[in-house]
Amino acid sequence: MVGNAFVLCTVGQDTVKDNPCSPSPCGPNSVCREINGQPVCSCVAGFLGAPPTCRPECTVSSDCPLTQACSNQKCVNPCSGTCGFRATCNVVNHNPICGCPPELTGDPFVQCVPRPPEPAVPQNPCEPSPCGPNAECRVVNDSPSCTCLSEFIGTPPNCRPECGSNSECPSQLACINQKCRDPCPGSCGANAECRVVSHTPMCACLNDYTGDPFTQCTPTPLVPVNLSPCSPSPCGFNAICKEQNGVGSCSCAADYIGNPYEGCRPECVVDTDCPSTLSCIRSKCQDPCPGTCGTNAECKVINHRPACSCLPGYSGNPFQYCSIVPAIEDETKYKDPCSPSPCGPNSQCRVVNGQGVCSCLAEFTGTPPMCRPECTLNSECPQDRACVNQKCVNPCPASCGTFATCVVRNHSPICACRDSYTGDPFTRCFPIPQALPPSTVEPSQPCLPSPCGPNSECRVVNGGPSCQCLSSYIGSPPNCRPECTVNSDCSPSQACMREKCRDPCPGSCGSNAQCTVLNHVPICSCFNGYTGDPFSNCYPAPVAPTEPSVVDPCASSPCGPNARCESGICTCLTDYQGDPYVGCRPECVLNTDCAQNRACLRNKCVDPCPGTCGRNAECLVYNHVPMCSCPSGMVGNAFVLCTVGQGTS
């Protein structure tokens, strides 16, 4: 049978002249025309792109502007007929958002009705909770009883997570999501083994395997015995051996550092591999501040984490917007301990027995005044999760094309076509066509079939194929890829839209509202002097009398980190030392705070060797890192077991 497989197949007729368009080499959604004996491909009307990757105007909503959604492969307004009676509709990130006006309530998808009067609620001694953050309040004999939540330690109101940095965990564990956990799962590729050294996962290929242990190790191919000084390679993993004057010379692969004869590693794998003022982003030590804080806020990096605070004279949420602090006119009226709030950003203050009780808002973690979202950078999530909308989630859904598989490596989705399939794994994979008989391939057509891989173009230069990536794709054939596939591929001030890093603000906010991009997400806020829903409409704020508040000497948080304030006097917390007005710190935070033969474990300078090496192995500390080796006359894996070598005198 012959013909266009996307339209009609008919019984083929024996002809003398071969038709270059049968079968069609153009791919789906395209047509083939014969011109001067050569096939010329073009996309079918209504499809975009260039063969063999012709595509409709859209397949998912992310292919459309933020104010439209993909319906029947067309970008349309999703609001039509979506919301109920008296409801308003706004399009945010392709989705129709239905809501009732402030004076109404109900199901905005059915009908909005006037608000009923609120019933009286009996007083509960646990509402608001006097127990502080990370604690649970229970009513016992009409009185509140406080206990720390599971997974938190301490005593209310000072319940805290198990750890805040790697130094608070044993050397074979790392601080992940405020828990001391094994950092190995998800860190290494297939056929690789993982060892934890000073909280850092070290990957190495198994015996008889080779490759990048952070991605995939493959069986070492059998090669004929030769006298090359680079076979077998004298180099460590992630190192390259080059023969120079009959001698093998080792050097680290691109973007790797270390001793090439022992093993090279990326510049960083976890944050503690970087100075305390930088974070590990895409295996590089970089400043995490750009795009993190809101308007009128400043950013400081403390222990690899960006800490946002409002500028002097401003208050509010430093992750979104800080506004000018209004002047206090009269200090003789009622004194509210929660005005101004002493709790810091992303927190709430409740008055309990005349005292202000602070707690973090829902979906925020930490302890006031240091409440923060679950994540702002990928490095704050497990290796198999990515930071999306300040949540650690699986980045795979909707990242890969049809008939493609997805594996998360170092927070990024890695797409690949299934076995026996080929094509662009980010768009669509097709079954590998059967190879044509050798007699049908003309030597004068080195680009048929193309050797360049997906998202690339093949040109004949001097009788040979020349490959280059298509426009709007980066890399080099056969590994041409789009500029981005997930938001983490872009800078924090941009988002991945249609495989391009772009400003996500246009079309996101309502009238009289301003937009700021924080960690790839457009944050809308009303201008000064305006109030309302910044995603739909902001209107001039009514002038209301302000109640002056008591002048609390601790309200302005005059103390530094890890210090407490009592009656305006700052003191360091237990086990911390330093100037409480500048910042208190433990004995150590980084390994460099300790002597060369000590490492920082649980904020103490200790010997990192105990429990690190295998039986019969000896341990020496170099630059805070325990190095294991078998003694002279013994062989084996120094991290597991050393045995007496056979055949030694």
99 and 190 belong to one structural domain: no
> What pLDDT, on a 0 to 100 scale, did the predictor assign at position 401?
79
Residue 447 lies in a domain: no
Domains of the chain: total: 5
> Which CATH number goes with the domain that contains 617?
2.10.25
Inform me whether the pLDDT recorded for 439 exceeds 70. no
> What pLDDT, on a 0 to 100 scale, did the predictor assign at position 649?
45
Residue 121 lies in a domain: no
110 closest CA partner among 101, 99, 102: 99
Inform me whether the pLDDT recorded for 114 exceeds 70. yes
Residue 615 lies in a domain: yes
Residue 331 lies in a domain: no
- pLDDT 10s digits, 264-300: 878 887 777 788 888 887 778 888 888 888 888 888 8
509 and 528 belong to one structural domain: yes
Residue 40 lies in a domain: no
Q: In the predicted model, what is the mean pLDDT of residues 542-568? A: 71
Residue 245: domain span: 182-220+229-273
Residue 456 lies in a domain: no
- pLDDT 10s digits, 625-635: 888 888 888 88
Contact 577, 562 (CB under 8 A): no
Cβ density class 189-198: b for 16+ within 10 Å, e for less: bebbbbbbbb
Inform me whether the pLDDT recorded for 173 exceeds 50. yes
DSSP state of 615: B
Q: In the predicted model, what is the mean pLDDT of residues 383-389? A: 82
State the Cα–Cα distance between residues 206 and 196, nearest whole angstrom: 16
Inform me whether the pLDDT recorded for 437 exceeds 50. yes
166 closest CA partner among 157, 177, 150: 177
67 and 167 belong to one structural domain: yes
What SS3 class is residue 271? helix
Partner residues linked to 365 by β-bridges: 372
Q: Is the peptide bond before 522 cis (omega within 30 degrees of 0)?
A: no
DSSP state of 451: S
pLDDT level of residue 149 (50, 70, 90 thresholds): confident
DSSP code string of 161-196: ES-SSGGGS-TT-EEETTEEE-S-TTTS-BTEEEEE
132 and 203 belong to one structural domain: no
> What pLDDT, on a 0 to 100 scale, did the predictor assign at position 112?
92
Q: In the predicted model, what is the mean pLDDT of residues 105-111? A: 89
pLDDT level of residue 336 (50, 70, 90 thresholds): confident
510 and 586 belong to one structural domain: yes
133-147, 350-364, 431-445: lowest mean pLDDT where? 431-445
Q: In the predicted model, what is the mean pLDDT of residues 402-426? A: 82
67 and 171 belong to one structural domain: yes
138 and 110 belong to one structural domain: yes
210 and 140 belong to one structural domain: no
373 closest CA partner among 299, 298, 419, 318: 318
> What pLDDT, on a 0 to 100 scale, did the predictor assign at position 100?
92
DSSP state of 511: B
585 and 522 belong to one structural domain: yes
Residue 345 lies in a domain: yes
Contact 159, 132 (CB under 8 A): yes
pLDDT level of residue 647 (50, 70, 90 thresholds): low
516 and 586 belong to one structural domain: yes
Inform me whether the pLDDT recorded for 240 exceeds 80. yes
> What pLDDT, on a 0 to 100 scale, did the predictor assign at position 442?
46
Inform me whether the pLDDT recorded for 250 exceeds 70. yes
Residue 458 lies in a domain: no
- pLDDT 10s digits, 472-496: 787 767 667 788 877 777 777 888 8
State the Cα–Cα distance between residues 582 and 321, nearest whole angstrom: 25
Count how many residues are written for the chain.
649
290 and 318 belong to one structural domain: yes
pLDDT level of residue 444 (50, 70, 90 thresholds): low
99 and 76 belong to one structural domain: yes
Q: In the predicted model, what is the mean pLDDT of residues 65-73? A: 87
Contact 201, 187 (CB under 8 A): yes
> What pLDDT, on a 0 to 100 scale, did the predictor assign at position 490?
79
Average pLDDT, the chain: 81
DSSP state of 272: G
Contact 529, 516 (CB under 8 A): no
State the Cα–Cα distance between residues 71 and 59, nearest whole angstrom: 8
State the Cα–Cα distance between residues 426 and 431, nearest whole angstrom: 15
Is pLDDT larger for residue 10 or for residue 435?
Answer: 10
> What pLDDT, on a 0 to 100 scale, did the predictor assign at position 89?
92
Contact 85, 98 (CB under 8 A): no
